[in-house]
Structure formats: structure tokens, C-alpha cells
Amino acid sequence: MRSRFQPDRRLTMRMGATLFLLGLLYVGFVAALIVLLKSWVLVVVIAAALLGAQYWFSDRIALFAMRGRVVEREEYPQLHGVIDRLCATADMPKPVVAVSDMEMPNAFATGRNADHAVVCVTTGLLRRLEPAELEGVLAHELSHVAHRDVAVITVASFLGVIAGLVVRFTFYSQIFGGARRDQNTAVVLMAVMAVSVAVYSISFVLIRALSRYRELAADRAGAMLTGRPSALASALTKLSGDIAKIPTRDLRTAQAFNAFYFTPALGATPGLQRLFSTHPSLEQRLEQLGRISGELGQTPTSGQAG
């Protein structure tokens, strides 16, 4: 599938490099677990089953987690209309359209390919954005589907999920089962935890680096498709400001899905979270959109930098 979204070779190279490095890390992780647990059948079967489930059912999992539901044209005609026009312009299949009944204004795309993709927006976003701003956000999300980085980030995040689950399982096994285990077993469990923590840390860094670049690529592709980078800049400024007003404790559940969101669920004082964010800073995104406005011969609005 080749859409009319502006291609990004650097994004493609970064996705390939990330998957290659994570693939090596994944093989090493599975091999280490087999050596430590001495049961290759159990490790391989569980790892393969979880990877398959995440790849094939990622759209359903994401919708369920974010309380999203598929909506028909009769319910949200404007939303469907905007997506229809963008898909026709981009020459790409129309994704499933969903809405999440959440006050936090945001949007995300998920799915393993363009034929099995979902674009979901929250009711909080629909209430806040003007039509041109909504078009900019949806063009951004559709570009993730066209660039195939939605599937890549889903597969890439799998290793971190597995390592995190192993760490939790080992931790609770040590706490609640320590008295019933001999010293050798305890040493094996500690080694499993150490390997899992290392794998999680490395995958965490690789995924954040890819995620930040793919957001810039989606901003650029979406702005070039609509020809209105100022509208996307306005939406970014508005939504980032509104999310920053939400108490951090109310954003904690949503933060687990930051890699998929249009703008991250960070509070007014993110602190160290900003250093490990899945998204580039608002200033970086606005600066890029300002440059695109210049390329298109437009005058940046007051909401844009540069």
C-alpha cells in the first residue's frame, strides 16, 4: 500500500534499525531465560503466544484499555466526513473509526496494517477543536498508519512488556514464596530479574528514541497533506495546554499509552518524565510546523514558534 502521505526515509531507516536491535535483544532475552529456567518449551510457547496476541489483537486491546468504541457515520457524521476526505486525498483505506468517552483531549491510531487500523478520538478532543484543527490531528494519526509505524511501535513495545511482566512475576515470587524455596532457586530468580530489568531498560530507551522521531514525522506528513500546518500547531498548543491542567494523579492510567497518543498525558510539572517522554517537546513540534509554513509560503500563526 502506497499512500500520498509524504514518505520519510529516515523514519523507515530508524524503524528498521530499532526492530533489528530489539530482535537481537529479544533473542538474547529468550536464550537467557531458557538457560536460567531450563525449560525452552515453556519460554518459547509463552513468548510466541504473547507476541502473536499483541500483534493480532493490538487494536482491540488498545480500544478496550482506553474505553473506546466503534462508531458509525450516523452517530458522528462530521468525524467520519473528515476521515473520508483525508483518506481520499491520501489514497489509503479508511480505518475503523472509534470514540472514547474521556474528558482528556487526545487521539491515537493502532492496528497491524492499513487494512486493520483504528483511529480513535476522545470526546474531550471533539469538544475542544475547530474543524480545521480536528483535520490536522486526524491527518497526523492517519500518517502513522500510512508510514506503518503503528505496527512497528506495537511490536517494538512487546519486548518491554514481556520484560516488565517477568520482573513483576519474579518480584512477587520472591516476596510470597521466598520461605518455600532453596538458595539455588532464589539465585536463579534474582538472575532472571536482573536480565529482565536490563532488557526492559534497553528496550525503553530504543522505543522512546523511535517514538519521538515518528511523532515529528507524523506532524510533517499530516501538515503537508492538509496544507495547513498552522491548524495542526493550533491543535497542539490547545490540547497540550488543556492536558497540563489535568491533575497528574488523574493522568496516571493514561500515561501507560503515551507512545500511541497524539500528545502525551503529562501534568503541569512533568519533571523527569519530560526526559523520558515518548514525544518531542511542544516547542520542537511547533518549530517544525513553523518551518513547514515557510516552505508552503504561509505566515505562521501566533501559536507557532519560528
Domain for residue 267, yes or no?
A: no
Domain for residue 166, yes or no?
A: yes
Total of domains in the chain = 1
What is the spatial distance between Cα 110 and Cα 119, in angstroms, rounded to a whole number? 7
> Where does residue 301 rank: exposed (0-12), middle (13-18), buried (19+ CB within 10 A)?
middle
Give the residue numbers annotated as catalytic, written as ranges.
141
* pLDDT range class, residue 192, cuts 50, 70, 90: confident
Domain for residue 305, yes or no?
A: no
Q: Which residue, 245, 248, 230, is CA-closest to 285?
A: 230
* pLDDT range class, residue 25, cuts 50, 70, 90: confident
Is 116 labeled as ligand-binding?
no
Is 72 labeled as ligand-binding?
no
- Please, which residues have CB within 8 angstroms of residue 3's CB and are 6 or more apart in sequence? 90, 91, 92, 114, 146
- State the average pLDDT for the chain: 83
Q: Alpha carbon 101 to chain centroid distance?
A: 19
Range of the structural domain that residue 230 is part of = 9-260+272-293
Which triple of cell numbers denotes residue 123?
A: 470526546
pLDDT tens, residue by residue, 253-286: 777 778 889 998 876 655 556 667 889 999 999 9
pLDDT tens, residue by residue, 236-262: 999 999 988 887 777 777 777 788 899
User: Higher-confidence residue: 125 or 175?
Assistant: 125
pTM value is 0.83
Which triple of cell numbers denotes residue 131?
A: 474543524
Domain for residue 81, yes or no?
A: yes
Which triple of cell numbers denotes residue 121?
A: 478520538
- What would the mean pLDDT of 149-158 be, rounded to a whole number? 79
* Per-residue pLDDT, 182: 57
Helix, coil or strand: residue 97 = strand
Domain for residue 140, yes or no?
A: yes
Domain for residue 303, yes or no?
A: no
Domain for residue 286, yes or no?
A: yes
Domain for residue 79, yes or no?
A: yes
Q: How many CB atoms lie within 10 A of CB 74?
A: 7
Is 130 labeled as ligand-binding?
no
